[in-house]
């Protein structure tokens, strides 16, 4: 106790330590005020905490490395170690005093952060306990354990490297840079040199092991309310490791002979345990620029592989029933019983996302052989049985299932689906909505520490019902109204009224285009709002309607109706974006009548001129060009792009808003967009305008 | 005068030699990390000048203060620190050393920019900006280390400044970095201001350096 008091007073008396320390405490206050100001201004608590507290905290951690190092290294600078060691357990007592002093000085800013989070929760005013728990865990992991880890690292460096300040500076710099996005560009270099992602993965492996605060400085990825700040079990393991491992290194210095050897073995075992647990971390949210991150993993994986199209593929059998026993821990562990309607076939094909490692396929008669080829599983006959049992485990970078949250929509092959179907659509840059045309009977049991919300009826993580796809969600997720599930911390939540209004808009649109058969009843389905992050790397699954439920990231009536209609009115090519967007706007009457663009009529003669120019302007190709040709190419490309947008918008306005035949035009283009026609959209629009305006 | 110059260079050489392997960190950054990172465009895209602008400003100025801070470490934390500042002839040697190290670093950076010029054409406005930013980082490190009497915190501040203003807060008036095209002389206005601020910081550091000798004498 006496030593502790002395050590603490040494820290407080030393101006090189105490003045910067008080500066850091003042900085914590400033950061908290800025966070509060940002929240008051933008009403986004996750963004405010990320910008003002989570991202800069790495430099506070680095400051505590400095404190830990400078306070401990004095013993070595003044050659006190031999003298202290002369006393019984002298060095241990001296280090313990320094350790407790450091923990005390770390406790002050950590308590300030904790108090601020409690205040913030009060200020946000949402009565949602999981959010309070999330903030509490955040303050302990990001602003408690991480700061303590910094102090421990500093202390360990002083104990091991002594006065070798250059090494300490270099290690601290490396640690800081690895905890920011400084590494993004250099980590791409191995791919440039070796044309392989293996080294990049290894580099990120090391980086992740040293990362105390994810969503690092420089990352522009948002925090999504369903997940919050990443705090999977592995992050706690890493933080605790970086507190305990340096501590064992310090303890090694305190003893001699047998105890020293025992402590060395203990630290080696701790290292092995840390790396081992880190290696089996399973599903972790990786929101950064790496090739296997949330945003890039699937686009890169499918772009690198041979293109296969299973659009017209017939499975030859249907699945009558699923019994799914799912365990969600570090990742998804599944045992799925599948009952097929046609057990006499010689072979069966299934689609299961490649991230799930299939361990076995069994029937009542025992294990049967299977072949795995990416997303596809092929097996032979069932030997008289009609039920197969798939046992697998794994993860998807985007559709995660871990101890913090679950987002498994029914159209994604996280359980075996009959036949072969694509997972990713290269042309439309998005996930393929993979749903069978029939319903199956599902019995789902989920073992998880989270309360799981499912599209089927049930409770206590057990669900049963008929559908053509089962969706599972968990995390900071709840039933916000009867039959409507969403993130309670999200500002744009769907309501029963907005769903009814969307249904009305769609019904009106289908009647206008002469397709009453396509009217969709939305109000009798469960509505599960997906996180806004779903749109981060996919253009196709904003809204998916299944037989018993809807998954959509939209909330407002117009947005919801538009996203549903977008899934029906599909693009023919990348070039029809502007025309199709305007078409949808006029079809759903979503245009802003007060906008200046609608106040004046289309100058039809100018439109015809621009059409002519666009038709005559060749689509420029960029092959083996000189500098002069390149300049011409860029100018032509720019002009074509400008014209494409202008012609699209004006033609759409004329055809669907001003024309006397606008209802007919709407119907014509609805049939075109829902047909298999390969005709160019804009060419068709031009032909249509010319027909109306004459030569 | 020539003798003074020789003596300064000799001491600088010994101080850099004393850094052993750590001396090679800035050349590694300049000759390997920056060019390769520029060549490895994001997600399969070709190297671009905008990528060169970003990465040059991210890496080159932040590592400019590496040698100066490692030299200054001897004056604040080494056992012989008192001896280093007692001789009258030593006055203002730290300032001249900072300027020499900046010149050396910029000279090495110029070699890298010759390579960038072969890739992207006119890069010399960017080079001038990077040289001014490097001078600012060295001046900041020099003045802070003399003010705080240590080099650890200036090192943290150096990388914190580069990270915050290059990776997060781009539009702050406190930002010395520029995200632009660097295509005309107009893009040199900010670097000129940065150089002026760097000179002020160097002068402030020099005042602190003089006090250091007064206290030691």
Tens digits of residue pLDDT in A306-356: 888 898 889 999 999 999 999 999 999 999 999 999 998 999 999 999 999
Could you say which of A66, A77, A167 has the minimum Cβ distance to residue B152?
A: A66
Chain B positions touching A177 (Cβ under 8 A) are 159, 163
Indicate whether A38 and A71 sit together in one domain: yes
| Dist CA A217 CA A56 (whole Å) | 7
In a shared domain, residues A277 and A130:
yes
Residue A487 lies in a domain: no
What token pair was written down for A356? Answer: 């799930």
* B182 in Cβ contact with B86 (< 8 Å): no
Note whether residue A191 is domain-resident.
yes
Nearest CB to A192; choose among B40, B73, B163: B40
Mean predicted confidence (pLDDT) in A169-177? 96
The DSSP annotation for A149-192 comes to HHHHHHHHHHHHHTT-HHHHHHHHHHHHHHTBGGGTTGGGHHHH
The pLDDT value given to residue B181:
81
A336 Cβ contact list (under 8 Å, min separation 6): A322, A323, A324, A325, A389, A390, A392, A415, A416
Phi, psi of A363 (to 5 degrees): -120, -175
Give the pLDDT confidence of A198-209 residue by residue, as tens digits. 999 999 999 999
A656 in a structural domain: yes
**How large is the C-alpha radius of gyration of chain B?**
18
Bridge partner residues of A463 (DSSP): A444, A458
pLDDT at A619 over 70: no
**A561 and A620 share one domain:** no
Write out chain B residues lying below 8 Å of A51, CB-based.
168
Q: Let me know the angle formed at the C-alpha of A152 by A149 and A153, rounded to the nearest 5 degrees.
A: 85
- My answer on whether A269 and A333 are in the same domain is no
Domain boundary among A548, A568, A588: A568
Q: Taking the alpha carbons of A671, A677, A680, A683 in that order, is the dihedral positive or negative?
A: negative
Q: Which chain A residues touch B if contact means CB-CB below 8 Å? A: 16, 19-20, 51, 55-56, 59, 62-63, 66, 69-70, 77, 163, 165-170, 172-173, 176-177, 180-182, 184-186, 188-189, 191-193, 217-218, 289, 291, 296, 300
Nearest CA-CA partner of A496 in A486, A509, A482, A507? A482
Cβ distance B151 to A169 less than 8 Å, yes or no, reads yes
Q: Which residues pair with A514 in a beta bridge?
A: none
- C-alpha–C-alpha distance, residues A341 and A608, integer Å: 58
Q: Give the C-alpha separation, A153 to A250, whole Å.
A: 10
Among A455, A478, A501, identify where a domain stops.
A478
C-alpha–C-alpha distance, residues A325 and A462, integer Å: 9
Name chain B contacts of A20, Cβ cutoff 8 Å.
148, 153
Res A427: pLDDT = 84
Query: Nearest-CA residue of chain A relative to B23?
Result: A166
pLDDT of residue A101: 96
Residue whose entry in the numeric block shows the structure tokens 């400044």: B161
Residues A583 and A561 in one domain: no
Model pLDDT for residues A663-673, shown as the tens digit of each residue: 899 999 999 98
A with B: how many residue pairs have Cβ under 8 Å apart?
99
Q: Which two tokens stand for residue A424?
A: 């990713």
**A532 and A599 inside one domain:** no
Domains in chain A, number: 4
Pair of tokens at residue A469: 């796809």
Report the SS3 class of residue B46.
Answer: coil
Is the dihedral angle over the CA atoms B154, B158, B160, B165 positive or is it negative?
positive
- Find the mean pLDDT for residues A462-479: 97
Strands A526-529 and A549-552 turn out to be parallel
- pLDDT-derived band at A627, boundaries 50, 70, 90: low
Calpha distance A335→A327 (Å, rounded)? 9
- Determine the residue of chain B that is closest to A186 in CA distance: B37
Two tokens, residue A474: 């968990």
Residue A487 CB coordination number (10 Å): 25
Residues of chain B with pLDDT under 70: 1, 43-45, 85-91, 214-217
Residues A191 and A289 in one domain: yes
- Closest residue on chain B to A304 (Cα): B44
Say yes or no for a CB contact (<8 Å) between A218 and B73: no
pLDDT of residue B91: 63
Q: Are B58 and B166 in contact (CB under 8 A)?
A: yes
Give this complex's ipTM: 0.95
Shortest Cα distance, chain A CAs vs residue B1, angstroms? 33
Rounded Cα distance between B154 and B145, Å, is 6
DSSP A389-425: EEEEEE--SSS-BSSS-EEE-TTS-SS-EES---SEE
Q: State residue B162's pLDDT score.
A: 96
- CA A59 to chain B, closest CA, distance in angstroms equals 7
Q: What would the pLDDT profile of A516-570 be if each residue is shown by its tens digit?
A: 999 988 888 999 999 999 999 998 889 999 999 999 999 889 999 999 998 888 7
Strand partners for A408: A472
Give the length of chain A.
695
Helix B66-77 to helix A165-178 angle, to the nearest 10 degrees? 140
A328 lies in a domain? yes
Pick A173's closest partner by Cβ from B20, B41, B155.
Answer: B155
For residue A371, give the H/E element and its range: strand A370-373
CA–CA dist A623, A620 (Å, integer): 9
CA–CA gap between residue B56 and residue B33 (Å, rounded): 10
Whether residue A37 is contained in a domain is answered as yes
* Residues A99 and A14 occupy one common structural domain: yes
- Per the model's pLDDT, the better-predicted residue between B102 and A653 turns out to be B102
Same domain, A537 and A578: no
Helix axes A577-587, A662-673, angle to 10 degrees: 130
Question: Mean pLDDT for chain A?
Answer: 91
User: Around A579, how many Cα atoms within 13 Å sit in the side-chain half-sphere?
Assistant: 28
Q: Encode A620-659: b = buried (16+ Cβ within 10 Å), e = exposed.
A: beeeeeeeeeeeeeeeeeeebeebbebbbbbbbbbbbbeb
Which pLDDT does position A625 carry in this prediction?
Answer: 62
Q: What is the pLDDT of residues A250-277, one digit of tens each?
A: 999 998 889 999 999 999 999 999 999 9
Domain boundary among A236, A263, A293: A293
Question: A367 or A695, which is more confident?
Answer: A367
What are the beta bridge partners of residue A357?
A393
In contact, A200 and A291? CB cutoff 8 Å: yes
User: For residue A684, what are the contacts with CB-CB under 8 A and spacing of at least 6?
Assistant: A669, A672
The region of weakest confidence among A151-155, A185-189, A215-219, A626-630 is: A626-630
Q: Minimum mean pLDDT among A74-83, A458-467, A494-503, A547-556: which range?
A: A74-83
Burial classification of residue A13, based on how many CB atoms lie within 10 Å of its CB (0-12 exposed, 13-18 middle, 19 or more buried): exposed
Nearest to B22 among A170, A176, A300 (CB): A170
Q: Determine the Cα–Cα distance for residues A50 and A489; give it in Å rounded to an integer.
A: 15
Q: Same domain for A380 and A341?
A: yes
Q: Cβ contact (<8 Å) for A172 and B33? A: no
The neighbour count for residue B42, using CB atoms within 10 Å, is 11
Q: Is the pLDDT of residue A476 over 80?
A: yes
Contact in structure between A660 and A670 (CB atoms under 8 Å): no
Cβ-count burial A101-115 (b if 16+ within 10 Å, e if not): bbbebbeebbebbbe
User: How many residues would you count in chain B?
Assistant: 217
Same domain, A498 and A420: no
Q: How far is CA A237 from the centre of its chain?
A: 21
The pLDDT tens digits for A411-433 are: 999 999 999 999 999 888 999 99
In this structure, is residue A484 part of a structural domain?
no
Helix (H) or strand (E) holding A628: helix A627-653
> How would you label A341-372 residue by residue, b for 16+ Cβ within 10 Å and e otherwise?
eebeeeebbbbbbbbbebeebbbeeeebebee
Tokens at A638, concatenated: 């720019």
**Whether A551 and A602 share a structural domain:** no
Domain span at A77: 2-293
Is residue A168 scored above 90 in pLDDT?
Answer: yes
| CB atoms closer than 10 angstroms to residue A92 | 18
Give the bridge partners for A378, in sequence order. A349, A371
Longest distance between any two alpha carbons in chain A, whole Å: 105
Q: Tell me the percentage of chain A whose pLDDT exceeds 90.
A: 68
CB contact under 8 Å between A180 and B163, yes or no, is yes
Q: What is the pLDDT of residue B88?
A: 55
CB A363 within 8 A of CB A382: yes
Q: Which residues pair with A322 in a beta bridge?
A: A338, A442
Give the closest residue to A602 by CA, choosing from A652, A546, A567: A652
Chain B residues with CB under 8 Å of A77 CB are 79
pLDDT digits (tens, 9 = 90+) for A220-244: 899 999 999 999 999 999 999 999 9
Q: Indicate if the pLDDT at residue A178 is higher than 90.
A: yes
pLDDT of the residue at A502: 93
**Partners of residue A296 in chain B, C-beta under 8 Å:** 43
pLDDT confidence of residue A597: 67
Q: Mutation test of the interface with chain B: which of A18, A54, A165, choosing the one with the most B Cβ atoms within 10 A?
A: A165
Distances (CA, A) of A305 to A98, A374, A416, A422: 56, 10, 21, 12
CB B124 within 8 A of CB B113: yes
- All residues of chain A having their beta carbon less than 8 Å from the beta carbon of residue B167 are 180-182, 217-218
Cα separation of A8 and A71, whole Å? 9
Measured distance CA(A414)–CA(A417) in Å, rounded: 9
Residue A138: per-residue pLDDT: 97
Please give the Cα distance from A57 to A31 (Å, whole number): 10
């Amino acid at each position: 106790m006496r030593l502790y008091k002395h050590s603490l007073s040494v820290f407080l008396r030393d101006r090189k330590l105490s003045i910067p320390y008080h500066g850091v405490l003042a900085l914590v206050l400033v950061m908290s005020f800025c966070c509060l100001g940002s929240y008051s201004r933008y009403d986004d608590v996750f963004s405010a905490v990320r910008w003002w507290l989570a991202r800069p905290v790495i430099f506070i951690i680095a400051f505590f490395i400095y404190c830990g190092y400078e306070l401990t290294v004095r013993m070595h600078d003044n050659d006190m170690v031999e003298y202290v060691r002369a006393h019984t357990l002298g060095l241990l007592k001296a280090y313990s005093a320094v350790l407790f002093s450091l923990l005390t000085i770390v406790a002050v800013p950590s308590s300030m952060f904790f108090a601020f989070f409690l205040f913030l929760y009060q200020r946000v005013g949402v009565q949602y306990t999981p959010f309070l728990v999330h903030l509490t865990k955040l303050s302990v992991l990001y602003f408690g354990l991480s700061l303590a880890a910094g102090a421990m690292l500093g202390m360990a460096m002083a104990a091991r490297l002594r006065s070798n300040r250059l090494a300490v500076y270099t290690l601290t710099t490396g640690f800081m840079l690895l905890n920011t996005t400084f590494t993004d560009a250099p980590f791409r270099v191995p791919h440039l040199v070796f044309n392989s992602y293996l080294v990049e993965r290894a580099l990120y492996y090391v980086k992740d092991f040293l990362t105390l605060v994810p969503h690092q400085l420089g990352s522009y990825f948002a925090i999504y309310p369903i997940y919050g700040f990443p705090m999977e079990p592995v992050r706690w393991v890493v933080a605790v490791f970086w507190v305990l491992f340096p501590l064992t290194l310090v303890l090694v210095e305190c003893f001699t002979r047998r105890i020293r050897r025992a402590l060395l073995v203990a630290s080696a075992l701790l290292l092995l345990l840390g790396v081992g647990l880190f290696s089996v971390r399973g599903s972790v949210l990786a929101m950064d620029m790496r090739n296997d991150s949330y945003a890039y993993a699937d686009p890169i994986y499918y772009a690198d592989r041979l293109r296969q199209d299973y659009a017209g593929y017939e499975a030859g059998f249907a699945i009558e029933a699923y019994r799914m026993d799912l365990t969600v821990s570090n990742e998804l562990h599944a045992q799925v019983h599948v009952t097929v309607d046609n057990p006499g076939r010689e072979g069966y094909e299934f689609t299961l996302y490649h991230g799930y490692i299939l361990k076995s396929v069994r029937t009542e008669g025992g294990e049967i052989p299977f072949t795995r080829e990416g997303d596809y599983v092929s097996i032979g006959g069932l030997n008289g049985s009609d039920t197969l049992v798939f046992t697998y485990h794994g993860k998807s970078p985007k559709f995660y299932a871990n101890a913090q949250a679950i987002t498994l929509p029914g159209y994604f092959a996280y359980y075996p689906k009959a036949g072969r179907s694509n997972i990713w659509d290269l042309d439309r840059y998005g996930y393929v909505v993979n749903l069978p045309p029939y319903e199956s009977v599902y019995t789902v049991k989920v073992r998880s520490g989270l309360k799981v919300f499912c599209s089927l009826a049930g409770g206590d993580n057990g669900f049963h019902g008929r559908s053509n796809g089962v969706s599972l969600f968990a995390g900071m997720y709840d039933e916000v109204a009867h039959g409507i599930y969403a993130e309670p911390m999200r500002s744009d939540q769907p309501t029963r009224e907005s769903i009814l209004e969307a249904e009305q808009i769609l019904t009106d649109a289908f009647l206008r285009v002469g397709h009453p058969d396509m009217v969709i009843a939305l109000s009798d389905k469960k509505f599960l709002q997906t996180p806004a992050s779903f749109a981060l790397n996919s253009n196709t699954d904003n809204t998916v309607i299944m037989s018993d439920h809807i998954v959509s990231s939209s909330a407002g009536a117009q947005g919801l109706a538009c996203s549903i209609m977008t899934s029906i009115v599909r693009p023919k090519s990348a070039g029809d974006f502007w025309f199709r967007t305007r078409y949808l706007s006029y079809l759903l009457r979503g245009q802003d009548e007060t906008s200046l663009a609608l106040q004046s009529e289309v100058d039809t003669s100018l439109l015809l001129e621009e059409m002519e120019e666009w038709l005559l302007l060749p689509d420029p190709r960029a092959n083996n060009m000189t500098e002069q040709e390149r300049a011409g190419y860029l100018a032509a490309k720019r002009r074509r792009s400008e014209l494409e947008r202008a012609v699209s918008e004006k033609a759409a306005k004329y055809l669907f808003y001003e024309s006397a035949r606008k209802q007919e035009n709407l119907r014509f283009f609805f049939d075109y967009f829902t047909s298999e026609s390969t005709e160019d959209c804009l060419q068709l629009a031009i032909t249509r305008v010319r027909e109306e305006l004459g030569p | 005068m020539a003798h003074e110059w020789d003596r300064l260079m000799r001491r600088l050489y010994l101080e850099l030699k004393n850094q052993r392997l750590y001396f090679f960190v800035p050349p590694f950054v300049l000759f390997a990390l920056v060019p390769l990172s520029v060549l490895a465009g994001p997600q399969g895209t070709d190297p671009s000048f905008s990528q060169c602008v970003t990465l040059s400003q991210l890496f080159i100025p932040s590592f400019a203060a590496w040698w100066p801070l490692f030299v200054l470490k001897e004056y604040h934390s080494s056992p012989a620190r008192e001896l280093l500042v007692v001789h009258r002839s030593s006055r203002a040697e730290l300032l001249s050393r900072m300027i020499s190290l900046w010149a050396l670093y910029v000279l090495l950076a110029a070699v890298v920019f010759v390579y960038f010029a072969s890739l992207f054409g006119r890069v010399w406005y960017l080079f001038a900006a990077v040289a001014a930013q490097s001078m600012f980082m060295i001046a900041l490190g020099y003045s802070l280390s003399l003010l705080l009497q240590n080099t650890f915190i200036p090192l943290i501040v150096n990388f914190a400044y580069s990270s915050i203003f290059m990776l997060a807060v781009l539009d702050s008036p406190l930002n010395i970095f520029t995200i632009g095209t660097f295509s005309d002389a107009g893009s040199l206005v900010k670097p000129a201001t940065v150089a002026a601020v760097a000179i002020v910081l160097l002068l402030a550091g020099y005042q602190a350096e003089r006090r250091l000798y007064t206290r030691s004498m």
